[in-house]
Amino acid sequence: MIFRLPRMALLGSLALAGVLLAGCAGQAQRAPVEDRTQARRLPAKPMPAASAPAPAASAPMTAEESAKVLPGAENAGKAGYYTVKPGDTLARIALENGQNWRDVALWNNIDNVNLIEVGQVLRVVAPGVDPGLAVARPVAPAGKVETRPLDARAAAASAAASSASAPATATPAAAAASSAREGDDDVNWLWPAAGPVVAGFDEGRNVKGLAITGKAGDPVLAAADGRVVYAGSGLRGYGNLVIVKHNSTYLTAYAHNQTLLVKEDQVVRRGQKIAEMGSSDADRVQLHFEIRRLGKPIDPAKLLPPR
């Protein structure tokens, strides 16, 4: 008995241990190995397309943040209106359209003439004027430009005689219009300086007028009766500039002066000294002289009298 009991106890213990080991082995076989592997692979799955940000979601913001609507935008492209480009000034826009810059400011309710924005659309014809009528008629060709210098005293005497005989026909700036009027082509023109012409009008090369040389301080004369619509140095490339409006069709420009002798809105007479020749914004002393018909540069040699 003493010998059997320990042996039986030992056998029982061994059997119990075997059951426990078998249970552990069964549990080990049922361990979720594959589940853990799948769990580790889940983040690697591609995200559903629905979770990606939709490009259209930003479209409303782009529309809201688009460029603001500038004054006059509804008139873009219409005859009689001008869309401001980089580098434009009100004075240059007025010159290119044959107008007084003060009138352009008035027509567009511009209080600060230095504040115009690229893309802004400006009226450049007087209210009530049909822009379709503003069509320049061709200018009859004239003889060849004589480039030899004139006698200064003879030119001055001729200018004085012409000034005395010609009545004042200046048109007030407030009455300016873009359409050509009957009789506007009947302008009694005068050469604005006595020096030789060293460069002629060339539309193909964008040369908008004549280059007349002389000495610093030589007189620059008004080519016809009119009213000064600009006197200053605000147009790049022109230096000290005078612009005279003669009627609703024609204006003249006198550039690179040394001294300006007239002020804006001043009435001038044909042959009156309005400036002194100089080299402002130029590489030599010269007068750059333009005649513009409805804002478009034309060859002055076709209108000025033969020399």
- CATH number of the domain to which 82 belongs: 3.10.350.10
Does one domain contain both 188 and 112? no
Q: pLDDT (tens digit, 9 = 90+) per residue, 92-128? A: 899 888 898 899 999 999 988 888 899 999 999 888 8
Plot region of 213 (φ>0 → left; ψ -120 to 50 → alpha; else → beta): beta
Does one domain contain both 174 and 229? yes
Does one domain contain both 160 and 293? yes
Domain end residue (candidates: 129, 162, 177): 129
DSSP string, 61-123: HHHHTSPPPPTTGGGTT-TTEEE--TT--HHHHHHHTT--HHHHHHHTT-S-TT---TT-EEE
Q: pLDDT (tens digit, 9 = 90+) per residue, 198-214? A: 999 998 888 999 999 99
> What is the Cα–Cα distance from 3 to 66, expressed in whole angstroms?
103
Query: What CATH number should be reported for the domain holding residue 273?
Result: 2.70.70.10
Is residue 48 situated within a structural domain? Answer: no
Q: How many CB atoms lie within 10 A of CB 266?
A: 17
Range of the domain at 123: 73-129
Does one domain contain both 256 and 125? no
Does one domain contain both 163 and 108? no
- Which residue is it, tokens 């230096």? 239
Q: pLDDT (tens digit, 9 = 90+) per residue, 284-295? A: 999 999 999 999
- 221 or 33: which leads in pLDDT: 221
Does one domain contain both 88 and 184? no
Is residue 49 situated within a structural domain? Answer: no
Q: Would you call 226 exposed, middle or buried from its count of C-beta atoms within 10 A (0-12, 13-18, 19+)?
A: buried
Q: pLDDT (tens digit, 9 = 90+) per residue, 162-181? A: 444 344 443 333 334 434 56
Q: What per-residue confidence (pLDDT) applies to 206?
A: 86
Cβ contact 252:292 at 8 Å: yes
Is residue 254 situated within a structural domain? Answer: yes
Does one domain contain both 110 and 207? no
Q: What per-residue confidence (pLDDT) applies to 133?
A: 57
Is residue 23 situated within a structural domain? Answer: no
Is residue 144 situated within a structural domain? Answer: no
Average pLDDT for 178-187: 69
Helix H or strand E encompassing 197: strand 197-199
Is residue 191 situated within a structural domain? Answer: yes
Does one domain contain both 167 and 277? yes
Does one domain contain both 298 and 160? yes
Does one domain contain both 287 and 177? yes
Is residue 106 situated within a structural domain? Answer: yes
Does one domain contain both 93 and 165? no
Is residue 110 situated within a structural domain? Answer: yes
Number of structural domains, the chain?
A: 2
Does one domain contain both 165 and 293? yes
pLDDT of 60 strictly over 60? no
